[in-house]
Structure 1
Amino acid sequence: MMKWRPTSLLFVLLLSVSIGGVFHGLALALAPAVPEEEPNTMRLELIHRHSPQLLGEVHGAARPNKTRLERIKELVHRDIIRYRIISHKRGHLGLSTGRKDLETSMEMPMRSGADSGTGEYFVEVKVGRPAQKFMLIVDTGSELTWVNCRYRCGKNCHPPKGGRLSNQRRVYQADLSSSFRTIPCSTQMCKTDLMNLFSLTQCPTPSTPCAYDFSYMDGSSALGFFADDTITVGLTNGRKMRLKNVLIGCTQSALGNGFMGADGVLGLGNSNYTFAQRIAKKFGGKFSYCLVDHLSPKNISNYLVFGSNRDEYTLSRKMQRTRLLLGVMPTFYAVEVLGISIGGVMLRIPSEVWDANFGGGTILDSGTSLTFLADPAYKAVMSTLEISVSKYKRLFDDINPFQYCFDSTGFEESLVPRLAFHFAGRAQFTPPVKSYIIDFAPQQKCLGFISAGSPGNNIIGNIMQQNHFWEFDIGHSLLHFAPSTCT
């Protein structure tokens, strides 16, 4: 039987639309010495879903490029699904917008599920010995790393029956890997440790692999079993490293459009068996990323780094830190927000909005594009920002779920007061204006927030995060961040 515990596909780390900012520094300032990169620092290139590098691989060569408006609508639709999953985990479903179109789009069956099944960034990962290459969705909210897979394990072993792997490019031939080891269903690990990863209770023989069954909110599903295998990764010194006995899922049946042509998922969520937890321990207990402006040339790379990152030294004078609240909102990376200011003035927002014990709380989620705010915070932010753009003609046609959009002809960004999130520990995150007054279509901009209802979970999405360096220090429960061009 499926475990009733939806989780979410995440990181995303990996992300969708981004908005720009520029790191300014004094040319004559004495920067701290940059140490030589440690040989055990691991770096993976983050490839955006809309990158030409993936055209013809993920989407199919004949798929036409989408307009900015089409991409925004697609991202918003995925955000809505993802938010409902996160909210269901917390036991409430807010998202009050007052718009009939959005309400209809959210009338979806509530099924047990791991996540929304979509992501915006991919990494190339090599699995097995000899290594086989796969393109995986990167997600900070996903717990399990899995690949499309085929395996014949012998006459005394009965893995889940393989089904159809739709819209996929590569399938892992596990029989060809000398390092592939299934986890038997009779083991304590299967019966207890992997319950949170949707392990099934069926165990026809002691040697049968421990099975899982994911059912996704968008109707997609994945069926497979757990195994340990070797993953080969590149280090920043140009060498390769083999990571042995990494928990992966061998997905034998993946149905639906949720995975958008990817070969699987790289789980970077916060739980005992995620790739992030396992690998971060090998590389100093931390990982980091920096997401460039989506309007930048597509050949500019983003990187997901495990271990020491050169940026943390070059940006040290701008670096701030706050606590990571690990375990408060399971799987996700939560932060303690004290309030929001606009133009240097703190908004009147009830403290309960930021308190996870009252159904609120805030997560940093690279798998969600837009930023969701519980209704009291949403109203305070929107009413203040609307004043600053009221001189421009307001638009009302086809702008769901955005509450306020306008004709941006002659728009002057300097007239918009700066918004800031105030974190615990006197840290202040001040995103560029383009991160919250976003491009919706040519000559059209919108205030890029969505109401999360009340009570509701606050989510700082990847548009708000981009053009900043983010380091997740899991070992010390700290989040470090600084503005950066990410180049």
Structure 2
Amino acid sequence: MLPLLLLLSATRVAYGGIQPTPPPESFQAALVRIEPAGINYTRAVQRSRSRLSMLAARAVSSSAAFVACGDRTCGELPRPLCSNVAGGGSGSGNCSYHYAYGNARDTHHYTEGILMTETFTFGDDAAAFPGIAFGCTLRSEGGFGTGSGLVGLGRGKLSLVTQLNVEAFGYRLSSDLSARSPISFGSLADVTGGNGDSFMSTPLLTNPVVQDLPFYYVGLTGISVGGKLVQIPSGTFSFDRSTGAGGVIFDSGTTLTMLPDPAYTLVRDELLSQMGFQKPPPAANDDDLICFTGGSSTTTFPSMVLHFDGGADMDLSTENYLPQMQGQNGETARCWSVVKSSQALTIIGNIMQMDFHVVFDLSGNARMLFQPPTA
């Protein structure tokens, strides 16, 4: 039996607890989110804005220190702010930040606080790294307000990866909510031994105009549906050499995959055509999801493959691009985990990455590797 076709709002569906606006998450879950902002942050005492609470928080650790507004570290924030909320900022105020969640439609998804430094320890105190900058959150709303913290793993100057100067890190985002999603740094992320042969790799790219952006850019050369290469115009996934717009990034902090037109429309129409549908229902918003309901347990769906530079083909499972989703009223459907991008940038989101072992080699090779779930 063929499934029925419908639309669900992307703001009202959830896939196994993962929502476009982030759900409550443990520190372990936060560790596997690559945030383009690149800052690490944790929540301060009771999210209080009082100077007394901040000074008390600092007193807990003798190695913690505020970052002054005039400090070079403060200047490494994309949009540094200055306040005197905590005092003790070497006479020039406290370096502050405000980050909004990029996928949110309203302004009530943000975190703000002050920048501090502290000694970070790993592996039962086996390794200690002094002077690591992190954000001490004083106020947050939306998805930011429910987590205990977040670790930035982007290419920005204040990300944990950059501050620790690691040459590689990797993660596997598990689709099983009862399982942990492991992350590894340095030599633990090495893919040269063991089953490393099952990894496929593609070069990491640099934006030709703004070269210090924190994103992990890759070269997407095409998309196949049901074994058929979709005829997407050349240059759709390329950078604009004059403005730096466009390109393709891998981002585990974004839930859905975002394709710009004409790629979105062409891939969508090919998927619908192979499933027996002539055209999609009218959408109210660009981020409405195309969903299928009905069908049976034996219903098969066309395959979907992402083709990258260097001949790396990412053969997606059905759960990567047509996951089972549940609405607020308990209805279930299989929804295409792709929405139309409002800009030229293409984002490969975390649903499409689930169960793949993804490694970012940041050494001289500068490449991204991925291993299929069956390896």
TM-score, structure 1 length as denominator? 0.61
1:369 — aligned with what?
Answer: 255
Q: Tell me whether 1:148 sits opposite 2:43 in the alignment.
A: yes
Offset at 1:189? 4.1
Offset at 1:310? 6.7
Offset at 1:186? 3.6
Give, as a single letter, the amino acid of the residue that structure 2 aligns with 1:308. Answer: S
Q: Counterparts of 1:479 and 1:387 in 2: how far apart (Å)?
A: 33
Structure 1 pair 314–370 and aligned structure 2 pair: CA distance change class (3 A): farther
Structure 1 pair 173–379 and aligned structure 2 pair: CA distance change class (3 A): same
2:9 — aligned with what?
Answer: none
Q: Tell me whether 1:267 sits opposite 2:152 in the alignment.
A: yes
Q: Tell me whether 1:306 sits opposite 2:249 in the alignment.
A: no
- Could you say what secondary structure the match of 1:378 adopts? helix
Q: Tell me whether 1:406 sits opposite 2:289 in the alignment.
A: no
Give, as a single letter, the amino acid of the residue that structure 2 aligns with 1:421. Answer: L
TM-score, structure 2 length as denominator? 0.77
Structure 1 pair 444–409 and aligned structure 2 pair: CA distance change class (3 A): farther
1:181 — aligned with what?
Answer: 65
1:287 — aligned with what?
Answer: 169
1:385 — aligned with what?
Answer: 271
Q: Counterparts of 2:23 and 2:38 in 1: how far apart (Å)?
A: 14
Deviations 1:32-79 (A, max 9, x none): xxxxxxxxxxxxxxxxxxxxxxxxxxxxxxxxxxxxx7524995653x
Q: Does structure 2 retain, via aligned residues, the 8 Å contact 1:136–1:266?
A: yes
Offset at 1:148? 2.3
1:3 — aligned with what?
Answer: none
Q: Tell me whether 1:354 sits opposite 2:249 in the alignment.
A: no
2:94 — aligned with what?
Answer: 210
Deviations 1:14-40 (A, max 9, x none): xxxxxxxxxxxxxxxxxxxxxxxxxxx
Offset at 1:323? 1.0
Alignment partner for residue 319 of structure 1, among 182, 199, 215?
Answer: 199
Sequence identity percentage: 22
Offset at 1:440? 2.5
Q: Counterparts of 1:387 and 1:431 in 2: how far apart (Å)?
A: 19
Offset at 1:485? 5.3
Q: Counterparts of 1:138 and 1:220 in 2: how far apart (Å)?
A: 16
Question: 1:335-350 alignment to 2 at 5 Å?
Answer: 335-350=218-233
Q: Tell me whether 1:427 sits opposite 2:312 in the alignment.
A: yes
Structure 1 pair 278–221 and aligned structure 2 pair: CA distance change class (3 A): same
Extract unaligned runs of 5+ from structure 2.
1-11, 101-105
2:215 — aligned with what?
Answer: 332
- Could you say what secondary structure the match of 1:179 adopts? coil
Q: Does structure 2 retain, via aligned residues, the 8 Å contact 1:407–1:445?
A: no
1:84 — aligned with what?
Answer: none
Number of residues of Structure 1 aligned to a counterpart in Structure 2:
341
- Could you say what secondary structure the match of 1:277 adopts? helix
Q: Counterparts of 2:72 and 2:324 in 1: how far apart (Å)?
A: 51
- C-alpha RMSD of the superposition: 3.8
Q: Does structure 2 retain, via aligned residues, the 8 Å contact 1:180–1:228?
A: yes
Give, as a single letter, the amino acid of the residue that structure 2 aligns with 1:123. Answer: F
Structure 1 pair 188–137 and aligned structure 2 pair: CA distance change class (3 A): same
Deviations 1:111-154 (A, max 9, x none): xxxxxxx47754359xxxxxxxxx87843323211222359xxx
Name the structure where strand makes up a greater proportion of residues: 2
Deviations 1:422-447 (A, max 9, x none): 11112111111221122124662222
Alignment partner for residue 229 of structure 1, among 91, 107, 118?
Answer: 118
Deviations 1:176-200 (A, max 9, x none): 211112233343443xx33525243
1:452 — aligned with what?
Answer: 341
Question: 1:87-236 alignment to 2 at 5 Å?
Answer: 118=22, 122-123=26-27, 138-149=33-44, 162=50, 173-190=57-74, 193-200=75-82, 206-214=90-98, 216=100, 218-234=107-123
Q: Counterparts of 2:16 and 2:371 in 1: how far apart (Å)?
A: 30
Structure 1 pair 242–199 and aligned structure 2 pair: CA distance change class (3 A): same
Q: Tell me whether 1:461 sits opposite 2:349 in the alignment.
A: yes
2:132 — aligned with what?
Answer: 246
2:3 — aligned with what?
Answer: none
Offset at 1:213? 3.3
Q: Does structure 2 retain, via aligned residues, the 8 Å contact 1:150–1:174?
A: no
Q: Counterparts of 1:343 and 1:164 in 2: how far apart (Å)?
A: 61
Q: Does structure 2 retain, via aligned residues, the 8 Å contact 1:321–1:481?
A: yes
1:474 — aligned with what?
Answer: 362
